[in-house]
Structure 1
Amino acid sequence: MADTVGVLVSRHIFSDCIRDRTPYEVFPHYDQAARQVGLKPIFFTIEHVRLADRTVDGFTREPDGRYHQQRHPLPKVIHNRIKPAVFQMKYQLLRALPGLIIFNRDNRMDKWRVAQILEREPELKPHLPETFLYQQPVLQKMFDRFGACYIKPRNKSLGIGVCRLMHKNGAIWIEDAKGAKGEVPFNQLPAWIHKHIHAPVIVQQPISLLTINRRPVDFRVSVQKDGTGQWQVTGIVAKVGKENAVATNVAVGGKARRFDEVMVEAGFTKPASVREKMERVAVMAAKALEKSIPGMADLGLDLAIDEKGDIWIIEINGRDLRITFHQAGDLESWRRTFAAPMEYAAYLYRQPPAEKPGKPTVALITPGNLPVHGGKSGSVEIVARSWAKELGKNHHVLLLGNQVEEMADATALDLKAPVTQQYYKRVEQSLKFLKPDIIQVENRPLLLNRLAKAAPNAKKVLFVHSHTYLNPPYANRKALRKLLPRYDFILTNSRYMADCLKKEYPQIMHKLKEIWLGVDLHQFASIHDPSVRRRRIEERIRHQLNGRPVILYVGRIVPQKGLHLLIEAFKQVREVHPAAVLLIVGSSFYGRNVETGYLRKCRQLGREHGEQIRWWPHIPHQGLPAVYQLADVLVVPSVGKEAFGLVTVEGMATGLPILATQTGGIGELVENGVNGRLVSPGPGLSKRIAKVLVEWLNRPDQLKEMGKKSRIRAENYFGWSKGAKELSEIYHRLA
């Protein structure tokens, strides 16, 4: 009996598909290609799936062209063609089932995330338009440099919401993809975007596209994995927009045409050589994307050629609708776009079974109030995704949270909900169905009662990251004295935090252990590495920092972080080192640059220093390594009792000496007098900080040696693999 391959299609078009009435998803093409490689395709929607017994009420195509529905075991390999606009619990659970391979598991392509991934590849940089998250200052810079720019919704396609913006006489001239035009005062643009686009947007550099009779041209490139598991270009087709149009999409009035005829009409004498270059860029982009978004096998890239003949990557789509090839009359390429995924499915069946991660199965439960991935993650979310990545090498790991992205070594369950209680209900549903052996709760002790009902047989582990959720208004000690002993194990991120728990709840001492958090030693590369040092020099020159001592603060701008004391200390530092720069990176809230009274106070304190205090807004975690690499020293001036402090070990990994207050768990991280200095909190703290900084800046060679020792300490104690090994040992004991 032939192996089966699933084709998961949207319910909105399924009835047309089984009547062979739509060119978007052509079941006969899938069927023919699958049978040629020895597979039997089963067509279904998510509603046809029966998770309880791992079956599907799917449709197969008979030799006479009719479709027959019957119950089948879920195919081991499934080609995902859905792109849910709203949350679908069943699809999240389907993705989490062990033993299934779903390729193109997540077809949603966040334009900002894609831009960041591609930016990491040096070979692709010449092909990438400058792209930023929307902010008014960013917009002004774009106007100053290019005279115009584009804004695009991060998560939409088909040209929806794309607008061209030009700055004229203090106002913004806007034209959308459908040709509608209007004028908006510069300061009212955020409100206009909120009203008309209803989505977060990116700002992108304008490209002078190739044109034919003033009609812009770009190209859809189908990039798919083939029967050997390699990326290949299946076809390229041109899209020609209306005269002076903002976008070329057929959905907004463009026309699809064959590649060669458009290139000849545009005056290219050697279209084959241009095609070859486009194919090379497209395959490079697919490979780059796959590094961060595993499971991709079927992509649609929009590439452009500018007036100079340079190639640009405009956009990447996770679900190429294939229809563009049909509209251009390139029927051979159109058929091949259906065949390649079936050939790739056959390739997957031929591969030896992957070595399954060992037992026990572990579910990591994040709080749900902040995204696990993306620019607004907090430290708890960063830690959870880092544990998942490392633990997934030896365990089947489920990572549950808000905005969880695909991961290579862990199963992501994105349970995003508008309110926290709804998120917790989704967590309960997931645990009831997936039945993990171990459930680890990240920093929310009161979740135990919910989890006990959802998964009564699972061992429960609590990882305490801070005091916050052990105190009112979130919890009271009387309730915790009853609840904490019911956990099978309790972990903390520092000896300090463990000692606090032992003192308050002595009955849990026998099930308590501290495990230091970590840092990605590859991502946070050392400035003492020659290649990083070269890049550091280039970036310092670009930011006009070369030859100047740079003191760095990274963190939220809230009173307990002590930034005001560092600014006071900086005044004293400048008296001795007038060229020094204080670089402040962060915001008042996680990922949100909100003006608060404390922020205003800090700005007022620093006003006399002008440009020698640089205020940079919140930077997403993946962008922080480049920030640390600009600095000479990291200061952690906390006055509150922090349990750990990720920025400390990130600075150490980067090779910076650390000046920190000896408060909470931070004092455990720095080896006083070796890779940094610990100063006591309390009255006179700003003077103590200033004294150490002046001493260090007077001795740059000593500063450098301390930085090297910081890196060594990070490598010895703070790699994620060390903590993951300790966690794994605990899980095995519990299971």
Structure 2
Amino acid sequence: MKIALIATEKLPVPAIRGGAIQIYLDSVAPIISQTHNVTVISITDPELPQTEVKNRVQYVRFNEENYVQSLAQHLKEVSYDVVHLCNRPKWIEILHAASPQTKFVLSVHNDMFSYEKMSDAEGESCISKVSKIITVSDYIGNTITSRFPQAISKTSTVYSGVDLQGFNPSWTSEGASSRNRVRNELGLGNRKVVLFVGRLSKVKGPHILLRAMTKIIEQHPDVMMVFIGSKWFGDNEVNNYVKHLYTLGAMYKDNVSFIQFVKPQDIPDLFVMSDVFVCSSQWQEPLARVHYEAMAAGLPMITSNRGGNPEVIEEGKNGYIAYDFENPEEYARLINELLGNQSKRESLGKYGRQKVERDFGWNNVAMNLMNVYQG
């Protein structure tokens, strides 16, 4: 089959600027290309050529300014069996018109079918023109089918994944070596490290974790909470909210540290140097990919009961769900429980690694996508 994978207009592929969708396409394309003809289409970037071939994958890049029009023209000129479009249901109309014989698969990574983003007519038109809709979580699937019941027969969940080889848990020799090296570089020694990875945005809830610090330090004075991220992917500019976080963090200068945007290839070492991963999202998160990364690194997880995040948690087996997700004391309680019990941390981390190996490797994701394409 000849397959086109189309990224959004936000970031390029390969994922040199980060981005969950970009990492997703970057990871599955070389696997699918082992048996099929694959083209990945994204926006241009100063560090990338307009076209190139890597790992049998053809990369085509168009300017952000007229991206959709360029996509439509490309589909008129190049015939594909399957076009997999990421997260832009409104584009289906123009792309389908450009190539009406093509089978369109839409993957939905956020709540793109909400009333704020799409009219009834737009949603119905999109659903009528796609062969399949795949979503990153059951939660996102329900946001579509609850509004548009006619989408039920076309909609299924294909969970995202993680590079299993890229993450070495601390009980492996490679993981232990990375853990010690990064801890030495950051001056952490044997301190207990709690990790947050994500945009420094109010909807991600880092301020709530900072407000939990007093109660965490009471029980674990050697704790270090590490925040990795910036206000937006690759943008380390400090806005008012980030300034507020820095001010809160300064109250616990011996127990809080901030690391700005980190390139995807450097992320695994920062996971493995940690003891507990926490996701404090306050919005209806589709399902943050950091959960897969935490499991791959063998970390126990704490996540908020928001959106699709709880779907990868087996309560008490690979982590815990913060049901009172707005309350700093809830996070303090769960974090303290894990920091105080090393054997529990280890058992949750090992179960998480087994789970991600079984269900969420990129080979699994690619196989699930091929089942959709061929269905």
TM-score class, shorter: over 0.9
- How far the C-alpha of 1:456 sits from its partner, in A, is 1.5
Q: Which amino acid aligns with 1:410?
A: V
1:371 to 2, 9, 12: 12
Deviation digits for residues 21-72 of structure 1 (CA, Å, limit 9, x no counterpart): xxxxxxxxxxxxxxxxxxxxxxxxxxxxxxxxxxxxxxxxxxxxxxxxxxxx
Q: Is the 8 A contact 2:106 2:132 kept in 1?
A: yes
Tell me whether 1:413 sits opposite 2:54 in the alignment.
Answer: no
Task: Give the TM-score of the pair, scaled to structure 1.
Answer: 0.49
Deviation digits for residues 668-703 of structure 1 (CA, Å, limit 9, x no counterpart): 1111100111111445x2111101111111111221
Deviation digits for residues 79-126 of structure 1 (CA, Å, limit 9, x no counterpart): xxxxxxxxxxxxxxxxxxxxxxxxxxxxxxxxxxxxxxxxxxxxxxxx
RMSD between superposed Cα atoms in Å: 1.6
Deviation digits for residues 419-448 of structure 1 (CA, Å, limit 9, x no counterpart): 1xx122222222222201001110000111
Name the structure 1 match of 2:37. Answer: 396
Q: Is the 8 A contact 1:539 1:630 kept in 2?
A: yes
Q: Is the 8 A contact 2:276 2:339 kept in 1?
A: no
Question: CA, structure 1 residues 643+588, in 2 after alignment: closer, same or farther (shift >3 Å)?
Answer: same
Q: Which amino acid aligns with 1:426?
A: S
Name the structure 1 match of 2:346. Answer: 704
Cα separation, 2, equivalents of 1:557 and 1:477 = 34
Give matches, 1:219-368, under 5 Å: 360-368=1-9
Name the structure 2 match of 1:188. Answer: none
Q: Which amino acid aligns with 2:26?
A: R
Question: CA, structure 1 residues 418+727, in 2 after alignment: closer, same or farther (shift >3 Å)?
Answer: closer
Name the structure 1 match of 2:85. Answer: 441
Q: Is the 8 A contact 1:580 1:612 kept in 2?
A: yes
Name the structure 1 match of 2:228. Answer: 585
Cα separation, 2, equivalents of 1:594 and 1:476 = 35
Deviation digits for residues 325-356 of structure 1 (CA, Å, limit 9, x no counterpart): xxxxxxxxxxxxxxxxxxxxxxxxxxxxxxxx
- How far the C-alpha of 1:394 sits from its partner, in A, is 2.1
Name the structure 2 match of 1:427. Answer: 71
Q: Is the 8 A contact 1:567 1:606 kept in 2?
A: yes
Cα separation, 2, equivalents of 1:661 and 1:679 = 5
Cα separation, 1, equivalents of 2:170 and 2:233 = 27
Deviation digits for residues 630-660 of structure 1 (CA, Å, limit 9, x no counterpart): 1111100111111111001101101100011
Q: Is the 8 A contact 1:519 1:650 kept in 2?
A: yes
1:599 to 226, 242, 254: 242
- How far the C-alpha of 1:719 sits from its partner, in A, is 0.5
Cα separation, 2, equivalents of 1:364 and 1:658 = 31
1:721 to 339, 363, 375: 363
Cα separation, 1, equivalents of 2:28 and 2:177 = 31
Name the structure 1 match of 2:102. Answer: 458
Question: CA, structure 1 residues 510+374, in 2 after alignment: closer, same or farther (shift >3 Å)?
Answer: closer
Cα separation, 1, equivalents of 2:73 and 2:172 = 48
Structure 1 residue matching 2:164: 3-state secondary structure = coil
Structure 1 range deviating more: 697-706 or 582-591 = 697-706
Question: CA, structure 1 residues 444+458, in 2 after alignment: closer, same or farther (shift >3 Å)?
Answer: same
Deviation digits for residues 477-535 of structure 1 (CA, Å, limit 9, x no counterpart): 44213322321111101111112211111011111110000000001222221222122
Cα separation, 2, equivalents of 1:484 and 1:622 = 36
The number of equivalent residue pairs is 369
Q: Which amino acid aligns with 1:377?
A: G
Tell me whether 1:511 sits opposite 2:158 in the alignment.
Answer: no
Q: Which amino acid aligns with 2:164?
A: L
Name the structure 1 match of 2:24. Answer: 383
Q: Which amino acid aligns with 2:109?
A: H
Q: Which has the higher contact order (CA 8 A, sep 6+)?
A: 2
Name the structure 1 match of 2:329. Answer: 687
- Specify every segment of 5 or more residues in structure 2 that has no aligned partner in the other structure, as ranges: none
Name the structure 1 match of 2:195. Answer: 552
Q: Which amino acid aligns with 2:351?
A: K
Name the structure 2 match of 1:565. Answer: 208
Q: Which amino acid aligns with 1:727?
A: L
- Specify every segment of 5 or more residues in structure 1 that has no aligned partner in the other structure, as ranges: 1-359
Q: Is the 8 A contact 1:696 1:703 kept in 2?
A: yes
Q: Which amino acid aligns with 1:464?
A: V
Cα separation, 1, equivalents of 2:54 and 2:294 = 26
Question: CA, structure 1 residues 589+475, in 2 after alignment: closer, same or farther (shift >3 Å)?
Answer: same
Q: Which amino acid aligns with 1:457?
A: Q
Cα separation, 1, equivalents of 2:16 and 2:254 = 26
Please identify the structure whose Cα radius of gyration is greater. 1
1:627 to 270, 273, 280: 270
- Deviating beyond 6 angstroms after TM superposition, the runs of 4 or more aligned structure 1 residues are none
Q: Is the 8 A contact 2:249 2:257 kept in 1?
A: no
Name the structure 2 match of 1:678. Answer: 321
Name the structure 2 match of 1:236. Answer: none
Q: Is the 8 A contact 1:460 1:487 kept in 2?
A: yes
